C-alpha cells in the first residue's frame, strides 16, 4: 500500500501495458486507486497525503475479522444440539453418488465417539460444544504468534526479497512476484525523519496490528445484539416477522440473502439501537492539528482530544429514555435523521466520524445484518431457565459482556 502511494503512476503504467479494450474493461479500480483519486473540496481540492492513505489502508485491512469464526461456532453448537441432522441429511440424498460424496465432519466424528472407559457412553452436548469451540478458536494465538516470528525474521534479514528475485529464472516468474505488506514496510522511508527506514520493532508492531488488531469489535457487537434479543422477546418476535415477510418476497429461500436486507428497516434499527446502547468502544482519541477555541476553551495544537462515545449515546438531552432498549427510535422521520458518519449533527458515532471514520463501517454493518437475520430466522433465542441475561460490562480490547451470553436455542419449524 505504501509503495502504491509512493509511486502514484502505477495505475497509468498498468493501463498503458494493456493491449486490448477487453483487458481495460477487466481492470478493477481498487480501494487504493479510489484514495489516490480523492480531492478534498473543503481544503482547496488537495489530494490525500501519503500518511493519510497508508493510515486509511491500514484501517481497511485490519477491521472486523472475528465474525466468520463466531458464526462457525454457532453453527457447530447448533449441529451438536440437534444430533439428528446427519441422519436427516443422508435420508434426503436421492442417489448413492450423493451418499459417497457425504463428508464426515468433525462434529459427526464427535457425535459418533463412544468412551469405552466410561461404559461406552456418548459425549454430552456440553463436551461436544467445548471441543468444537477449541477446534474453531483454540490455538488461534499460535498461528498469529508464528506469523509474527516469520515477520520478525523477514525484517531481520532484509536481503530476502532480493535473493528471492535473483533465484527466479524467467521474466514470467518475476512478473508474478507479489509485493507483500512486509515488503512495503521494509521499503518505507520517513522523509520527516531524514529518510530513515522503520526499525525492526516498528515493523513487527505494525505486522501485529495488521494480523490481530480490530478483530473483537464485530463479534462483540453481535453478542450484545443477541443478548438484547434474548432479554426483549417482543423485539425478537417483531424482528422475525419482518424477516419472514422479506424472505417470502424473495421466494422463501432457506438463507437470507444480501439483497433481502434492504427490505428490513427494523433489523437495521435493532442493530443501530444495540450500537447506541452498547458501543464496542466507549471512547476514541483524535490529535489536534492546530489551535482551536471551543466553548471558551483553547484546545492547543498537538493535544489529544478524547470523545466519550457511551456518554453521548446515553445523554438524556439527545435521547428519550437513553438506557432503555428501543429500536423504534431509529424508525420513521426521526430515526432517519440520525447520522453516524459525521455529515450532520452527531448524536452517536460508533465507527468514529468525519475523514477518519472507520473504512470498515459498511462491511461491519452488512455482517451484523446478515448474521442477525439468519440467526433469528433459523432459531428462537430464549434465556436459560432460571437465569437472566446480565448486561453488565467489562473493558477488554472492546467493551464486552461481563458474563458472556448463555442462551437456549430452539430450531424454528417451517410452516
* 3-state SS track over 332-356: HHHHHCCECCCCCCECCCECECHHH
Tell me the sheet residues that pair with 315: none
Higher local confidence (pLDDT), 152 or 300: 300
**For 304-341, how does the pLDDT look when each residue is reduced to its tens digit (9 = 90+)?**
988 888 898 999 998 999 999 999 999 976 666 788 88
CA–CA gap between residue 32 and residue 1 (Å, rounded): 7
Reported as a pLDDT band with limits 50, 70 and 90, residue 187 is confident
Q: How far apart are CA 297 and CA 245, in angstroms?
A: 53
Inform me whether the pLDDT recorded for 129 exceeds 90: no
Least confident of 125-139, 259-273, 298-312: 125-139
d(CA 348, CA 269): 14
pLDDT in the model for residue 47: 83
Per DSSP (E only), the strands in 192-257 are 196-197
Q: Binning pLDDT at 50, 70 and 90, where does residue 24 land?
A: very low
pLDDT greater at residue 41 or residue 103: 41
Predicted confidence (pLDDT) at residue 243 exceeds the cutoff of 70? yes
Burial of 374 by CB count in 10 Å (0-12 exposed, 13-18 middle, 19+ buried)? middle
Cell 432460571 found at: 386
pLDDT score at 145: 58
C-alpha grid cell, residue 249: 418476497
Rounded to an integer, what distance in angstroms lies between the CA atom of residue 262 and that of residue 283?
A: 30
For residue 144, pLDDT over 60 is answered with no
Comparison of pLDDT for 170 and 47, the residue scoring more:
47
Average pLDDT along the chain: 75
Reduced to 3 states (helix: H, G, I; strand: E, B; else coil), residue 407 is strand
User: What confidence category does residue 103 fall into, taking pLDDT thresholds of 50, 70 and 90?
Assistant: very low
User: Grid coordinates in use for 226?
Assistant: 443477541
Q: Find out whether 263 and 246 touch, Cβ atoms under 8 Å.
A: yes
The three-state secondary structure class of 401 is strand
Residue 414's pLDDT is what?
56
Q: Which cell goes with 182?
A: 512486509
Contact 200, 228 (CB under 8 A): no
Report the distance separating Cα 125 and Cα 129, nearest Å.
6
Q: Which of 270, 244, 247, 279 is nearest to 260 (CA)?
A: 247
What the chain holds in terms of domains, given with CATH numbers, is: 218-411 (1.10.630.10)
Shortest CA distance to 230 belongs to which of 377, 402, 77, 406?
A: 406
User: What nine digits make up the cell of 1?
Assistant: 500500500
* 132 annotated ligand binder: no
Amino acid at each position: 500500500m505504501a509503495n502504491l502511494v509512493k509511486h502514484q503512476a502505477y495505475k497509468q503504467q498498468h493501463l498503458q501495458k494493456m493491449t486490448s479494450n477487453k483487458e481495460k474493461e477487466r481492470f478493477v479500480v481498487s480501494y487504493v486507486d479510489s484514495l489516490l483519486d480523492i480531492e478534498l473540496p473543503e481544503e482547496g481540492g488537495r489530494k490525500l497525503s501519503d500518511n493519510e492513505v497508508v493510515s486509511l489502508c491500514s484501517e481497511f485491512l485490519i477491521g472486523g475479522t472475528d465474525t466468520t469464526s463466531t458464526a462457525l461456532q454457532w453453527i457447530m453448537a447448533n449441529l451438536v444440539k440437534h444430533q439428528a441432522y446427519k441422519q436427516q441429511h443422508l435420508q434426503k440424498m436421492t442417489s448413492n453418488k450423493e451418499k459417497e460424496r457425504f463428508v464426515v465432519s468433525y462434529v459427526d466424528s464427535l457425535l459418533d465417539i463412544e468412551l469405552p472407559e466410561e461404559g461406552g457412553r456418548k459425549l454430552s452436548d456440553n463436551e461436544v460444544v467445548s471441543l468444537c469451540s477449541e477446534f474453531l478458536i483454540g490455538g488461534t494465538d499460535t498461528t498469529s504468534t508464528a506469523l509474527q516470528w516469520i515477520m520478525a525474521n523477514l525484517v531481520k534479514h532484509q536481503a530476502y526479497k532480493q535473493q528471492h528475485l535473483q533465484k527466479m529464472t524467467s521474466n514470467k516468474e518475476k512478473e508474478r512476484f507479489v509485493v507483500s505488506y512486509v515488503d512495503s514496510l521494509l521499503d518505507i522511508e520517513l522523509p520527516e525523519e531524514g529518510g530513515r527506514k522503520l526499525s525492526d520493532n516498528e515493523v513487527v508492531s505494525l505486522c501485529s496490528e495488521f494480523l490481530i488488531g480490530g478483530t473483537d469489535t464485530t463479534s462483540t457487537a453481535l453478542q450484545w445484539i443477541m443478548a438484547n434479543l434474548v432479554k426483549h422477546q417482543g423485539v425478537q418476535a417483531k424482528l422475525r416477522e419482518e424477516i419472514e415477510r422479506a424472505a417470502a418476497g424473495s421466494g422463501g429461500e432457506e438463507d437470507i440473502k444480501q439483497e433481502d436486507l434492504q427490505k428490513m428497516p427494523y433489523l437495521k434499527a435493532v442493530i443501530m439501537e444495540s450500537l447506541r446502547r452498547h458501543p464496542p468502544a466507549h471512547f476514541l482519541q483524535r490529535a489536534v492539528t492546530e489551535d482551536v477555541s471551543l466553548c471558551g476553551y483553547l484546545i492547543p495544537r498537538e493535544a489529544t482530544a478524547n470523545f466519550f462515545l457511551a456518554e453521548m449515546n446515553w445523554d438524556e438531552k439527545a435521547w428519550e429514555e437513553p438506557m432503555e432498549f428501543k429500536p423504534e427510535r431509529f424508525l420513521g422521520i426521526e430515526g432517519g435523521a440520525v447520522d453516524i458518519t459525521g455529515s450532520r449533527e452527531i448524536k452517536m458515532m460508533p465507527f468514529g466520524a468525519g475523514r477518519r471514520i472507520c473504512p470498515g463501517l459498511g462491511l461491519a454493518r452488512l455482517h451484523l445484518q446478515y448474521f442477525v437475520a439468519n440467526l433469528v430466522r433459523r432459531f428462537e433465542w430464549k434465556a436459560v431457565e432460571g437465569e437472566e441475561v446480565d448486561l453488565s460490562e467489562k473493558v477488554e480490547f472492546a467493551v464486552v459482556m461481563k458474563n458472556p451470553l448463555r442462551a437456549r436455542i430452539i430450531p424454528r419449524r417451517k410452516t
